[in-house]
Structure 1
Amino acid sequence: MSVVGSFIWTFLGYCFHRFLFHIETKSYWANTFHYLIHGCHHGHPMDGLRLVIPPAEAAILAIMVCIYDLLFFFSILHDACYKFHHWAYVYGWLQKYHLNHHLRIQNKGFGLTTTLWDRVFGTLPKTKSAEKIG
């Protein structure tokens, strides 16, 4: 596992460095952002006070990790809601609601674990089953 992890880690490091940290920017703000993220490293490569990961990079990375963790958690919740029979008495209606999205009205009913965001964004399907859920 550590060999695979090392392979992935070094590959991602290469990709980030080549394709993100050395991207050619055209606007003032993009140039400024790029300099703050990586460009100052090239201006002062031997500066002992430089962090391995500057705060801006660390914040972006932390946000990405948090988003991934949340998506992973909700993926497990989604599977639990739809695939395990012992959850059917709690989430059976939601399974029917989401299957309606897959099988009948694919441009409505995007909520996976709640109808809240379909209500907020106006994507709640206008069907008899949705009205019963309401």
Structure 2
Amino acid sequence: MSEYIGKSTMIPDYLYPRKGSAVIFKNRFLESLTKTHPIAPLVVYLPIVTYFVYHSAYKLDLKTYNIALLFIAGAFSWTLAEYLLHRFVFHFEPKSSIGYKIQFMIHGVHHQYPQDPKRLVMPPAVSLIIAILFWYVFKFSLGIYAFAFFPGFVVGYIIYDMTHYAIHHFKPPKNKLRYLWRHHLQHHYKDPNKAFGVSSPLWDYVFGTTI
């Protein structure tokens, strides 16, 4: 990781990396909701994925190839959602003291303390709200096909969370996946306004935000 760490003029002070962990809420219960075990996304979302695939196949009688195509499309669409959320929601530019506090709670805390192991995957209390919103968007726009599209989208999210945890928690592998480590750690230690893709750098190339 040393190749990525160094004072960068591109990093504002409120996003500059530090060691340790932050306290967001003085209330113990609220504070506990901001910390998540890395296995939580698997425990919470794999049963949901299983239910939707089962419902698509045995309740809606969708063809296997249709389910597979919709599932893959859902997983691919997550990569775009991931990029847009990370760039425009997690990294909105605060204009006031309240804005800085909100940005810190949403994502700034992760940039200040990128090695905090309990804040490397999204808390279920937050991700479930986002998942429900996406579900209704897909249900409204795709009808019954949303039942096969949505689980793929969720699997894309799971891959994102697991990839993010691995990048911050483990040394980069000695294969082509090493690029994901380099890409994301440059986002933290070189320029937080670029390299927004985590599970895939595709949309950074499309929108010109690679480093």
TM-score, L = length of structure 1:
0.44
TM-score, L = length of structure 2:
0.29
* Larger relative contact order (Cα-Cα within 8 Å, sequence gap ≥ 6): 2
